[in-house]
Structure 1
Amino acid sequence: MELSDVDLNLLLLFERLMQERRVSTVAEQMNMSQPGVSNALAKLRRRLGDPLFVRGPGGVVPTPFALRLAEPVSQALATLHAALNPETGFDPLLATRTMTIGMTDIGEVVFLPALLERLSRVAPGIALNTVRNASVNLSDEMADGRVDLAIGLLPQLKGGFYQRRLFDQRYVCLFRRGHPLENTPLTLAAWREAEHLVVVSAGTGHGQVEDWLKRRGVRRQVRLTVPHFMSVGYILQRTDLIATVPERLALQLATPFSLSASALPMSLPAAPIHLLWHTRVHQDEGNRWLRAVVVDLFADTATPARKAKSGQKKA
């Protein structure tokens, strides 16, 4: 099939239908009648030889062919839009914009204080919004432009994203000051005999710690399991529990909660923490500026950004 055989407006309609999944909504957005949308879709079906969308609960559902077509069409339209509408320059001091970052609860503790401090000085008109990776479909939200960046250990983000490695996160043992383990070398036997607080953080890669321990048959006394890291400081402060947590989180929690950290008595794999963004915002000047700020604040080494291959884990 030649490009001349396909009307650009039909591809725009296809992209809107992929996003909204409702003919009536697309008709309203594109200032068309519903029969007009249906007729245009029928034309595109004939051109491509596939139904593309079928009726489903509350709207339409894309076919497997449409799902395969969605990303390259979105990328092509985004590239064309950027070429036809070049940025006139981004001045952070004058910009007024809300930018949304996907991150875990660890990310909110580790990244937000320093990031907000920097923005208050160099970009006072830029507001931030965060979303938890476990509460939204982060891949779809970024592809649709509702989330600008993501930071963390996020293995669910695959093809179609650029990534920049920020640092490798090590794990440490965290406990209250004055804990019986504080002034003695932490041996494997002492670590196993202590009572543990375990965090099972759904939707992140931090579960690799638990997987690693299970594969090697390392047993311990688990007294409490929680689904997130936000309560760790409060719990450790008032108990004799210990927790295995990312090192940078431990550094943030140590002072306000009177905690101490110790090296683990075994070598756990480090977790690669990435900055990720979708292809559609790769050339957006505001997004590029914010990415540069994140890299300046948190990156350990000057590793260039790269685009992940489809199916490859990126965080």
Structure 2
Amino acid sequence: MELKDIDLNLLVVFNQLLIDRRVSKVATSLGLSQPGVSNALARLRKLTDDPLFLRTPKGMEPTPFAQQMAEPTARALQVLHAALNQKASFDPATSNRAFTVGMTDIGEIYFLPRLMQELSRVAPSVSVSTVRNAAVNLQDEMEAGHVSLAIGLLPQLKAGYFQRRLFKQHYVCMFRRGHALDKRKVSLDEFSAADHVVVVSEGTGHGRTDELLRRRNIARKVVLTVPHYVAVGHILHDSDLVATVPERLAEALAGPFGLAYVRHPAKLPEIAINLFWHGRYNKDPANAWLRSLIIRLHGEGAPG
């Protein structure tokens, strides 16, 4: 006998007959008609090739085969009932859930300090790991649940994904405090004449900025090229180099590294930074909780 051949309702009737022992009582318990219960029993008898229950003065008595079926059937129905009726809840205070979030190195610098500080306060046993958005097949990993959320400029995440705008930001020109460009406004000529460090951040939307500058014939004297933003704060602090960076990164680096920044002299488009999650996990309570926490900490209007 194959499971595909069995109507689950037959097992529900069988289990209730074990409890009530009378067709009329089973009908009342399950909200069925007596003929409906009798029909279900007849179908199950045919499938199992066993009488299952025999009429006696004390009611319907199970056969030895029915007694063998009793305990595993009841257990299976309880498991199914619990699975279908479990309450969608997540208690961050007691959970030891491990989340994986896709983000760039900019995201790690900007989002993680405040996020980890808040997690230590409200969810002390929850852990977070990060993966580079460009280092994995983000679509497959998120669909499989291996990556819970992704943050950034990710146009490849379309069908099947939800997204929420966190904020928009401008690009700025950043340098050490006391630099020759450390003033209220920098001209394009001053920008072009400076020595620059350029970040080639493959797999992110930030590479388009360098392309736009080239298209507009805005010259730069590039003396250093690096593959990520992690070292930019250290580099600018100890040199006269200038970097073009997103404004939120500049905010995060300015204080710790003694840096300053001004609005970029070139007309560069704003960047929209979004939070993404796969539709399969839209109603997952843990995923929803982490999303709401990130939005509260870093969404538009969040306290600085």
Q: Which residue of 2 aligns with 1:70?
A: none
Q: Report if aligned partners of 1:92, 1:122 keep a CA contact under 8 Å in 2.
A: yes
1:236 deviates by: 0.9
Q: Deviation digits for residues 229-266 of structure 1, max 9, x if unmatched?
A: 00111111111110010111111111111111111112
Structure 1 stretches of 4+ with a deviation exceeding 6 A read none
1:299 deviates by: 1.0
Q: Which residue of 2 aligns with 1:100?
A: 100
Q: Is structure 2 residue 179 aligned with structure 1 residue 182?
A: no
- Supply the AA of the counterpart residue of 1:201: S
Q: Secondary structure at the match of 1:212?
A: helix
Listed as ranges, the matches of 1:32-71 within 5 Å are none
Larger Rg belongs to: 2
Q: Distance in 2 between matches of 1:158 and 1:272?
A: 15
Q: Report if aligned partners of 1:166, 1:301 keep a CA contact under 8 Å in 2.
A: no
1:134 deviates by: 2.2
Q: Distance in 2 between matches of 1:84 and 1:292?
A: 25
Q: Which residue of 1 aligns with 2:202?
A: 202
Q: Distance in 2 between matches of 1:284 and 1:186?
A: 48
Q: Report if aligned partners of 1:154, 1:203 keep a CA contact under 8 Å in 2.
A: no
Q: Is structure 2 residue 211 aligned with structure 1 residue 211?
A: yes
1:162 deviates by: 0.5
1:152 deviates by: 1.2
Q: Deviation digits for residues 97-144 of structure 1, max 9, x if unmatched?
A: 101101000000000011111111111121111111122111111111
Q: Report if aligned partners of 2:88, 2:284 keep a CA contact under 8 Å in 1.
A: no
Q: Distance in 2 between matches of 1:209 and 1:86?
A: 49
Q: Secondary structure at the match of 2:206?
A: helix
Q: Distance in 2 between matches of 1:91 and 1:184?
A: 48
Aligned residues: 221
Q: TM-score, normalised by structure 1?
A: 0.67
Q: Report if aligned partners of 2:184, 2:262 keep a CA contact under 8 Å in 1.
A: no
Q: Which residue of 1 aligns with 2:265?
A: 265
Q: Is structure 2 residue 278 aligned with structure 1 residue 278?
A: yes
Q: Which residue of 2 aligns with 1:228?
A: 228
- Supply the AA of the counterpart residue of 2:196: H
1:203 deviates by: 0.9
Q: Distance in 2 between matches of 1:149 and 1:210?
A: 28
Q: TM-score, normalised by structure 2?
A: 0.69
List gaps (5 residues or longer) in structure 2.
Answer: 5-82
Higher relative contact order (CA 8 A, sep 6+): 1
What is the root-mean-square deviation in Å for CA atoms of aligned residues?
1.7
Q: Deviation digits for residues 284-309 of structure 1, max 9, x if unmatched?
A: 0000011000111111169xxxxxxx
Q: Deviation digits for residues 147-206 of structure 1, max 9, x if unmatched?
A: 000111223323211100110121111101121111363111000111111111111111
1:86 deviates by: 4.3
